[in-house]
Amino acid sequence: MQIVIPGALPNPGTARELTPHLVKTAPNLVRRFEGSHARSTQINLLDTACTSLEYWLLLHHGFVPESGQNMSAGLGPLWAQPPVAPDQAIWLAELVHVSPSRDGAGLLPAAQLAITPEQSLALFQAAKPLFDAPGFELTHTGAARWRITLPADILPASVSPQLVSATRVNDWWPQDTATRPLRRLVNELQMTWYEHPVNQERAQMGLAPINSLWVFGGASPAQLTRPDAGGFEIWYEAEAAFAQSDWAAWLQAMAAFNTRVAGLGPDAHLVLLGEDRIVTLEPPSLGQRLLRLLPGRTNWSHWWSPRNS
């Protein structure tokens, strides 16, 4: 069993400051750190175009990108609702909120918008006529994400909306000539939804409007070589505090993990995720346990808060 913990790896400087607090708050967790063999992976978010959790999930499901694709292209078939043909390119359109700011537009993904099935269907009915343009097709497949078909000559670079929400829309929004028809449709959609009754109702409830779609994906289900891979749990409790740099709340989440880790068997693997790092903690082999007895061997601080980062 693999236990995946998003938000468990602060940046090295913050991690160093948190170390004494973590030792007091989560001693069982720290003992797991000390007694495990660590494999650390650095992620280039500009290349993967997805979050560290999404990257891990795609690796776990055996995603193999084709030439010209980044890792986030695999999110299309990973999140798609069946039935889907094995060789069909899957593009998804996620319902989002986009708002301007001084540093560029920000984005809230569907997971932060509390979209009801009724709201999603009403917005879809308003959006579908716009996507009757040649080569386009919009299909309602769920409250948060819809399936979208694109013309063969419009292949935008895939970027995860979760990653966009942690950065800026301007960093990722396509500006090339080929994707101009898609940008035009999205602009028309934003105007159509601007005073839609769903968003008027959301405004009265103090909720952010659902005012745009974010298109991503592009890979086929056949590129997931282990589509049914299981054997893992995801513990999300630290994710929100990590994203907001709320380290008091983060330590509370670590305290909760401290109790849960105590109940894990010795063969369980912990997968700790940061913004652009993954550390997998595995039970050490006999040779690795013997090496730890030698002087000068490394300890968990070397991957927890590396000095060269």
pLDDT tens by residue, 212-229? 999 999 999 999 999 999
pLDDT in tens, 180-194: 999 999 999 999 999
Per-residue pLDDT at 297 exceeds 60: no
CA distance 60 to 271: 12
User: pLDDT tens digit string along 32-49?
Assistant: 999 899 999 999 999 999
Does one domain contain both 70 and 214?
Answer: yes
Read off the pLDDT of residues 237-281 as tens digits, 9 standing for 90 and up. 999 999 999 999 999 999 999 999 988 988 899 999 999 999 999
Is there a single domain that holds both residue 108 and residue 21? no
Q: Do 124 and 187 fall within a single domain?
A: yes
Confidence of residue 101 (pLDDT cuts 50, 70, 90): confident
Residues 171 and 72 in one domain: yes
Q: Over the chain, what HEC string results? A: CEEEEEEEECCHHHHHHHHHHHHHHCHHHHHHHHCCEEEEEECCHHHHCCCHHHHHHHHHCCECCCCCCCHHHHHHHHHCCCCCCCCCCCEEEEEEEEECCCCCCEEECHHHCCCCHHHHHHHHHHHHHHHHCCCCEEECCCCCEEEEECCCCCCCCCCCHHHHHCCCHHHCCCCCCCCHHHHHHHHHHHHHHHCCHHHHHHHHCCCCCCCEEEEEECCCHHHECCCCCCCEEECCCCHHHHHCCCHHHHHHHHHHHHHHHHCCCCCCEEEEEECCEEEEEECCCHHHHHHCCCCCCCCCHHHHCCCCC
Domain that holds residue 186: 62-223
Question: What pLDDT, on a 0 to 100 scale, did the predictor assign at position 309?
Answer: 56
Q: Across residues 123-152, what is the average pLDDT? A: 95
What confidence score (pLDDT) does residue 47 get? 96
Instruction: Say yes or no: 244 and 214 in one domain.
Output: no
Indicate if the pLDDT at residue 76 is higher than 50. Answer: yes
Q: Which of 176, 202, 223 is the last residue of a domain?
A: 223
Domain finish residue from 179, 203, 223: 223
Identify whether 53 is part of a domain.
no
Which residues make Cβ contacts (< 8 Å) with residue 51, sequence separation at least 6? 6, 45, 160, 162, 163, 166
Predicted TM-score (pTM) of the model is 0.92
Q: What torsion do the CA atoms of 165, 166, 172, 173 make, to the nearest 10 degrees?
A: 30
Q: Is residue 32 included in any domain, yes or no?
A: yes
